[in-house]
Structure 1
Amino acid sequence: MHLRDATPDDADLLVDLLLEAFNWTGEARFTRNDVLRDPHTVRYVGGWGRPGDLGLVAVEDGQALGGVWARALPADEPGYGYVADDVPELGLAVLPGARGRGVGSALLAGLLDRARDAGWRAVSLSVEDGNAAARALYERHGFVVVGRNGGSDTMLRTLQPARNARADAGVAPA
């Protein structure tokens, strides 16, 4: 498995992954048309690839296994996990056949590294009550509950600036 950047060519894949995230119970609570027609849900992936969008796709043998993406949403058009205009909201989904193999953890770690490198101060997300697997993944990666929206918790992961590799190695600055 390897991770690659999500590009505008991945727009359909991201819609499918968003649908997977919304239907995490295995029950078809939402359809693809529901996602595309609802102005609230489509804001997570509509027009993917605009400035500031950040995403990764996990691929194995030419097949997508899952993806993670983040986009800043403004206060007047917030997502379910809105915290602040400068805190992008994250979405993540792993396709059913690839679950339980560490794909989600690899995607999340990769996005957090990229977000930190991009200078983001934090990322947020929303996790529904009952989605214990996702909640455990997010908690393992340092997310904490900072709010509540209906039957979901808003979680936040603060990002520290990338550390200086020379200092990490015990080398004095030049």
Structure 2
Amino acid sequence: MNRRAHRSVNHRVNRRTKIAALAVALLVTAGAAGSAVASGDGKGGSREAAALTGTAKLYRPAGDDITFSFDAHLAAKDNKDPQAATGTLRFSHYKGGKGGYAVAKVDCLVTGGKVAVVTGIVTETDVPAFEDKRVGISVHDNGKHDRLGYNWMTREEYEELPPCMSTAPFERTKAGTGDFTVLPWQLDYPTE
């Protein structure tokens, strides 16, 4: 092989090597960027660890007006501490001009898939039985058919409720009102 032919072969090999190396570098960079966006908030930061937001009315054929609203969040930095959750939860129940409401400061939030359990200490209410009590509510974010449960079904549960405890989401939301959104908790498991 003469010198000119040898240089031509080397040039093609070097060019192919450079192209392959560039392609690999682009794939690695794209993969890393995709992972960052998938685990982030879409704005270059990391997404919060968990959240429960939205408002809905409960289904009641007798005409009761029962509303639950959530704005509960667990920051990314608190991923391993659900009791560091912040926000508020509100609920009210009225019928025939009678009823009451409560607002609670969130003190725990755990989510898994489309289900959330949130607790909070009541800070504002016109129902004396709720004053300064911890309440627990569960939500199933099921599209247009959201469900909800709450701990005050029995007196024993209402008296002394631990953080992040409630009942199964046994109530149905009123058609057209279920807009709960659950951001699933992504717990980091040890690898060893």
TM-score (norm 2): 0.26
- What TM-score does the superposition give when structure 1 sets the normalisation length? 0.28
